[in-house]
Structure 1
């Protein structure tokens, strides 16, 4: 069939227009950016040992890319591994290899460790370490000559094929080698290997004084119970010690840490010479912290390096970072000035200097260039909505920004500090990756990802800046319906979190922040989201505005957003909906009960209903205890306010939630029954605090359907 040029043009442009009109399915809106719509990336990036090239994973192997020429060579392939692997250990897909150098590394398969090493042009694979079936928290010695791991509640070390029990506690309430304090304070592990592998420091947690809390597994016949230890605000907390095991002598001591047994021990850091160990000791009230140095051989306190105090709270979240080849000088990250900054300390002289300063915060410490006395970091210096990469000279404090484009940048520094891997996105850039030469400041692009959303019908997104009652700027976004008509009036969904340690609004891809927002815009909704006071990355004053009064300041700020929405001629003020999860679920429920005239529909997921039922470390930081702040807990408690509900409220909870335990919403349901109040409720069996995977599609379909039923005309 032949077409005229004009007909071909019409056909082509018509097809192009049609492609631009494609709408998201609910599955694409929920999981697409992690699956079919994932933006191209460099997989499993790491710097090579010589730092003149980088390693990246592919489906069937690893490439080695020269940073100057960008020439790629195959480092290792699946065929090479399987050639030397036994028949029973043949691999169908390529494993994730942890490279020790360009010629050796290791990987795991079915919990078994394999060593892989280059021999001539071939790669040889050999079985290396097979941990016990129940082994967890496995850590490899830095010299690759041993493993530390836990089995149930005890800690073990394996070296030269011999397994030694470091602890032998029979009581299940004594837990060794695992993360403690509900994983607050930046704690993500319980085993700390000395730099020279001569010793192992570990947490020992006694939970005997904490009451059991039931988590029911409904999938068994009959249903079975698993008790967890969940210390709630104002109740007894677990007791934590730090042990040190000498690998050579098979001897064990515990640090002589004085003070309340309910105090918190964090920022555990070995000195580079492995002779001493540092611990940030924080009182239970979380307003006084001491950074202590202990002798690793005797466990005795050597000195307190410094103290930090606050009328609200001190929150140490990072271990010490020692300067290269120094056993005395280190960087401490602190919010003492109101923003997280870098401080140079010497173990003998104390504070040497404050390295970074300003009404912005350091978000990540990347490393050093020892020869040039440079420190590399990421910060919010340009804007709270962006992250940029910097270097600072630690002697003259000369500072230089290393990237040049707007957006959210993250960096991986080479070991010698001469090359910086810069990965970023912004509202118009799905992903871009550059290699920055930190000496010449020249940048070489290695990836520009295509926009995987280009064929879809996308909404108009506007950045919004409002002001809190004290004049603080509040950043938000409004997502307009895809077939927007300013002469119509539209329903609005406000999505919020507005709690500590979270930020929703950034200059990143996609500009909306969430494809479900765009999915709802395609269905004719306006979506609005904003970070109010209490949110992260704006400094302590912004975060601590909620201190002792969770929910109050946050609602005032979100009401500024409501006022803004009502001022828009195309917003139907009688059809406002609100949705949030966790802290956002608490906020959603609070709005439906404390301001029942504002929102017609609310969907609250995993909500905190009564802060006295939430865990100690988080709750007492922001609310103090129920005993010392009864009025704050009373105002935030939603159980005695259920009778105020006027709109339609759907509450959702994971049946195995061990973060916001199921009791929160169960007690709320009981209060609703007692007061003759009707609401809607849905449970996700088998899910903990967040509903993830394929079931998340079901969750967001349910949320969508609820707004469709009660918010649309």
Structure 2
């Protein structure tokens, strides 16, 4: 129910000034003045109360009305080899030196369009999403083409173009070759010339598809360019042995059935191989991975030299992982670098991390000690040392400082509900937290390792961008948001912790209706997922809730969410508790 307020003010008493002559004003009595001011203040307070009663609609929730979400910096990124960053503002590309914070317009949409038209291309309706290639030049994709722009030289070049039929595009940023699929086959376009890598006509065979393993084990795409663009590795998936599973589309007046290949438990699964195509010779080989007929190929990683490729081989039972090294030219198996076994399951999700700061070595993330931590290996498979350890999960590597003495990464060390940026001394293995405010932090490290841009959110902050140095000092705020829901009746929300029977803390979120009365009973909307990779409760804006949760509270429900055993960022035991016990 909306709060309303009616206020009548005597017209005779709201006259403050009269007979303005020669810069002087006659004031009515101080009694009338104070009475008027109090009346105006009361009216303002009533208008404030009314403004805070706006209601969310289902359309707001389903279509994610941008007006009620915090603003974002558009495409912030560092220019390679510098401490200068860019972002897009309206129709301009802004450039900022981290040291002084002075922003200047590097390129406008009008200027970019004049370069496009002068080179014989159509103008753009909006500023494109760019990626810096060098200190001076960036590239962007538009209309099945890739363009290289050098603002300092007022130049633009179309480096490559490809067919409208292309799917699963994967650009090589070195030479701008584009890999893509058409139907079930894989192609490369270079300087506008198309080359077919495969010619499989039989239904059930696909090349370069991102559907391998249904995007489990960190698989997000089906093609992998080598560092300098000489080789393209890709998945070849054979689903001919998999029983078709019908999917019914009921969106039309008459339902339609389409089949997909889905390997049911105990029935044959698809077979996957990894092809390696040499763009210089045109030779195609396949890595010698077929020791078992049914297995998952993941963690595909190129050696910086391009001579070797590394593949994680996971058995169908998902409890035994072998990370193997192969010859890129011949596909021949060279050696197994390391193996992992687990009674429940092994879940490789990240490729090997290479850097010129650790030549001849790589870093890998693993649950092997019960928590997600980083390990340093050499490329012959020797474990040099475990880099991080403790009863918490580490998350992502951001990069090194210029001398390679410090590794920057994100971790849940502070709390499973928070993510922070840390600096690891590679000699002492001591970690230092760099982000001071509580909440969830996402960072972009400059290539020099001197600064990082931090986007963070918490139960107190809807979204804020800051610039910090590599010692954790906040240099300046880049973007600060006001709560876009401040005028809405969102109800009361917060975090709480419940204890399981064995005293295990379980993190929860509770949202109460705006007019909550503790003396009344309310229906409860209990929202839970509870599977791997499904954390719903966090120290973030709205405590991680979605707008639909607020909508239900607005309708008079108490909305309750719990991250039970099985959710992530709590270690292997907590997550694996639901192994073969899901839903019990």
Q: Same fold (TM over 0.5)?
A: yes
What's 2:100 paired with?
69
Pick the aligned partner of 2:140 from 84, 107, 117: 107
Residues 1:190 and 1:5: Cα distance change in structure 2 (over 3 Å): same
Unaligned runs of 5+ in 1: 553-713
Question: Quick one: distance in 1 between partners of 2:540 and 2:253?
Answer: 47
What's 1:117 paired with?
150
Deviations 1:347-384 (A, max 9, x none): 23611111111110012221112404111111111111
Compare 361-370 and 211-220 and name the one that shifted more.
211-220
What's 1:150 paired with?
181
TM-score w.r.t. structure 1 length? 0.74
Q: How far did 1:389 drift? A: 0.7
Q: How far did 1:485 drift? A: 1.6
Find out whether 1:92 has 2:125 as its counterpart.
Answer: yes
What's 1:709 paired with?
none
Is the Cα–Cα contact under 8 Å of residues 428 and 511 in structure 1 kept in the other structure? no
- Secondary structure of the residue aligned to 2:356 is coil
Residues 1:324 and 1:56: Cα distance change in structure 2 (over 3 Å): same
TM-score w.r.t. structure 2 length? 0.89
Bigger proportion of residues as helix: 1
Question: Quick one: distance in 1 between partners of 2:297 and 2:554?
Answer: 49
- 1:361-400 matches, cutoff 5 A: 361-400=393-432
Compare 101-110 and 410-419 and name the one that shifted more.
101-110
Deviations 1:246-297 (A, max 9, x none): 1111111111124212111110101010111111111111111111111112
Which of the pair has more CA radius of gyration? 2
Pick the aligned partner of 1:166 from 183, 189, 197: 197
What's 1:46 paired with?
77
Q: How far did 1:100 drift? A: 2.0
Find out whether 1:411 has 2:436 as its counterpart.
Answer: no
Residues 1:110 and 1:224: Cα distance change in structure 2 (over 3 Å): farther
Question: Quick one: distance in 1 between partners of 2:384 and 2:141?
Answer: 44
Deviations 1:408-447 (A, max 9, x none): 1111111222211111010110111111111574532212
Q: How far did 1:216 drift? A: 4.7
Query: What's the Cα RMSD here?
Result: 2.1
Residues 1:224 and 1:112: Cα distance change in structure 2 (over 3 Å): farther
What's 1:567 paired with?
none
Compare 156-165 and 191-200 and name the one that shifted more.
156-165
Question: Quick one: distance in 2 between partners of 1:215 and 1:101?
Answer: 47
Question: Quick one: distance in 1 between partners of 2:166 and 2:173?
Answer: 19
Question: Quick one: distance in 1 between partners of 2:236 and 2:567?
Answer: 33
Question: Quick one: distance in 1 between partners of 2:485 and 2:470?
Answer: 34
What's 1:590 paired with?
none
What's 2:264 paired with?
232
What's 1:212 paired with?
244
What's 1:133 paired with?
164
Number of residue pairs matched by the alignment? 549
Question: Quick one: distance in 2 between partners of 1:131 and 1:369?
Answer: 38
What's 1:267 paired with?
299
Is the Cα–Cα contact under 8 Å of residues 323 and 331 in structure 1 kept in the other structure? no
Residues 1:494 and 1:442: Cα distance change in structure 2 (over 3 Å): closer
Question: Quick one: distance in 2 between partners of 1:52 and 1:370?
Answer: 12
Is the Cα–Cα contact under 8 Å of residues 187 and 198 in structure 2 kept in the other structure? yes
Question: Quick one: distance in 2 between partners of 1:439 and 1:497?
Answer: 38
Compare 173-182 and 268-277 and name the one that shifted more.
173-182
What's 2:7 paired with?
none
Is the Cα–Cα contact under 8 Å of residues 374 and 391 in structure 1 kept in the other structure? yes
What's 1:464 paired with?
496
Question: Quick one: distance in 1 between partners of 2:501 and 2:188?
Answer: 57
What's 1:80 paired with?
111
Question: Quick one: distance in 2 between partners of 1:440 and 1:97?
Answer: 28
- 1:658-673 matches, cutoff 5 A: none
Find out whether 1:293 has 2:328 as its counterpart.
Answer: no
Is the Cα–Cα contact under 8 Å of residues 424 and 432 in structure 1 kept in the other structure? yes
Q: How far did 1:36 drift? A: 1.5
Q: How far did 1:407 drift? A: 0.3
Find out whether 1:13 has 2:45 as its counterpart.
Answer: yes
- 1:570-581 matches, cutoff 5 A: none
Is the Cα–Cα contact under 8 Å of residues 408 and 425 in structure 1 kept in the other structure? yes
Is the Cα–Cα contact under 8 Å of residues 161 and 189 in structure 2 kept in the other structure? no
Pick the aligned partner of 2:512 from 480, 488, 496: 480
Pick the aligned partner of 2:487 from 441, 455, 477: 455
Pick the aligned partner of 1:434 from 458, 466, 469: 466
Q: How far did 1:326 drift? A: 4.3
